[in-house]
């Protein structure tokens, strides 16, 4: 960090910057904590006592904070995650945590979307998984082409969400339904 500060034209020894390298390291530890966490292990506790619940489970508008691997600047957005259980369900917070574990690594949005969907599919073995991510990339808004207000949308549909048009339609309708009635 001191080298970068000097390269930018700064004096790393001046008062305001003395502790900056240490602060940046602590920030990085937070931004990239996902490398130390295992999403498969996280999902290993699932529940079978669902009284036969076999409809879609959707978590929508999950806050997403990640960093692009090309420029190391923030990707901020939201994700919608759904699955169609096959006997087993997981605690809903686990869906958000899987996203977080992959998001707290250097990413491209396409890969992040696929990783979340593939992991849920591999571990839960549900009838299907759908992941949609909408996000703004600061490497597009604060540098380069300078286009703020643009969001990138990626999706990965597996199983029934890929093969059954009515399942896919139901999911897309649910994530675009009006907000506000139920959010705590
Ligand atoms: Zn970038």
CA distance 101 to 117: 13
Q: Report the pLDDT value the prediction gives residue 184, as an integer from 0 to 100.
A: 60
141 Cα to the center of ligand 1, angstroms? 10
Q: Residues with catalytic annotation? A: 68-71, 109, 137, 139
Q: Return the residue matching tokens 């990640």.
A: 66
CA distance 70 to 176: 31
Instruction: Dump pLDDT digits (tens) for 103-112.
Output: 999 999 999 9
Which pTM was predicted?
0.93
144 Cα to the center of ligand 1, angstroms? 9
* Helices then strands, each counted (H, E), the chain: 8, 5
Kindly compute the dihedral angle of the four CA atoms of residues 32, 35, 38, 42, in this order, to the nearest 10 degrees.
-10
CA distance 80 to 130: 8
148 Cα to the center of ligand 1, angstroms? 14
Signed CA dihedral, 33, 36, 39, 44: sign only = negative
Instruction: Dump pLDDT digits (tens) for 34-89.
Output: 999 999 999 988 877 778 888 999 999 999 999 999 999 999 999 999 999 998 88
């Amino acid at each position: 960090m001191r080298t970068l500060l000097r390269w930018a034209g700064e004096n790393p020894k001046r008062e305001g910057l003395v502790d900056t390298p240490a602060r940046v390291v602590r920030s990085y530890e937070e931004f990239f904590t996902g490398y130390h966490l295992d999403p498969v292990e996280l999902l290993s506790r699932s529940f079978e006592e669902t009284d036969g619940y076999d409809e879609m489970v959707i978590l929508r508008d999950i806050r997403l904070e990640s960093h692009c691997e090309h420029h190391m600047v923030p990707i901020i957005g939201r994700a919608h995650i759904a699955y169609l259980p096959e006997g087993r369900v997981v605690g809903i917070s686990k869906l958000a945590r899987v996203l977080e574990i992959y998001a707290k690594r250097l990413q491209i949005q396409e890969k992040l979307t696929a990783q979340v969907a593939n992991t849920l599919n591999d571990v839960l073995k549900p009838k299907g998984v759908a992941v949609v991510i909408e996000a703004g990339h600061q490497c597009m808004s604060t540098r380069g082409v300078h286009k703020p207000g643009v969001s990138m949308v990626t999706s990965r549909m597996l199983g029934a969400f890929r093969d059954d048009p009515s399942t896919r339609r139901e999911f897309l309708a649910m994530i675009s339904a009006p907000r506000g009635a139920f959010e705590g």
